[in-house]
């Protein structure tokens, strides 16, 4: 008998402020403390009838409370397989770039976290590219540090780039 896997399409957001900082959410797996913490871009599953940009905007609101962002094009795609809260996921992700003025994160609150997300998310932070590149903290997408500098420099690809991580484990 095979294990049950949630196969879905997801949308994520690389949110940049006017000073080229990226917003990342600190997360942990509530069912597996051994994974430690990591920083990730906002995002999640696409609801029926949504396009990827609409889903990216909704996920940004649900996970951060931010409503005033300009959602740009899909810049990256990836195929991710992972376990979170003892659920196995097999998902195709569409990552949009978005821009906003610097928002004081203490002034906004997530507007619709699911129970496991509420347990998983610890903090939110605007990261400068230098701070992120100098950090040894795990990040998702795994290849964020490789592809983010182009977006920060204003180089948006003409077509989405596949950033699928093919190495061992999500944080290897």
Domain extent listing, the chain: 6-103+110-162
CB-side exposure of 2: number of CA atoms within 13 Å?
A: 4
Q: Which residue has the higher pLDDT, 3 or 134?
A: 134
Q: Which two tokens stand for residue 98?
A: 């978005």
Give percent of the chain above pLDDT 70: 97
For the segment 143-171, the average pLDDT, to the nearest whole number, is 92
Q: What is d(CA 11, CA 28) in angstroms, rounded to the nearest whole number?
A: 20
Phi, psi of 149 (to 5 degrees): -55, -35
Mean pLDDT of the chain: 93
Residue 46 has pLDDT above 60, yes or no: yes
- C-alpha triplet 128, 145, 139: angle, nearest 5°: 90
**What digits encode the pLDDT tens for the residues 134-146?**
999 999 999 999 9
Give percent of the chain above pLDDT 90: 77
| CATH architecture for segment(s) 6-103+110-162 | Alpha-Beta Complex (3.90)
Output the pTM of the full model. 0.93
């Amino acid at each position: 008998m095979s294990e049950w896997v949630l196969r879905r399409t997801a949308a994520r957001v690389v949110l940049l402020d006017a000073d080229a900082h990226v917003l990342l959410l600190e997360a942990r797996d509530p069912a597996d403390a051994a994974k430690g913490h990591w920083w990730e871009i906002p995002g999640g599953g696409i609801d029926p009838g949504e396009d990827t940009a609409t889903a990216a905007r909704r996920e940004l609101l649900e996970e951060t409370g931010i409503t005033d962002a300009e959602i740009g094009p899909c810049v990256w795609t990836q195929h991710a397989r992972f376990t979170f809260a003892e659920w196995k996921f097999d998902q195709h992700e569409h990552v949009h770039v978005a821009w906003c003025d610097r928002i004081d994160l203490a002034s906004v609150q997530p507007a619709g976290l699911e129970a496991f997300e509420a347990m998983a998310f610890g903090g939110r932070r605007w990261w400068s590219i230098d701070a992120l590149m100098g950090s040894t903290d795990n990040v998702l997408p795994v290849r964020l540090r490789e592809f983010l500098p182009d977006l920060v420099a204003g180089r948006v690809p003409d077509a989405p780039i596949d950033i699928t991580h093919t190495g061992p484990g999500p944080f290897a």
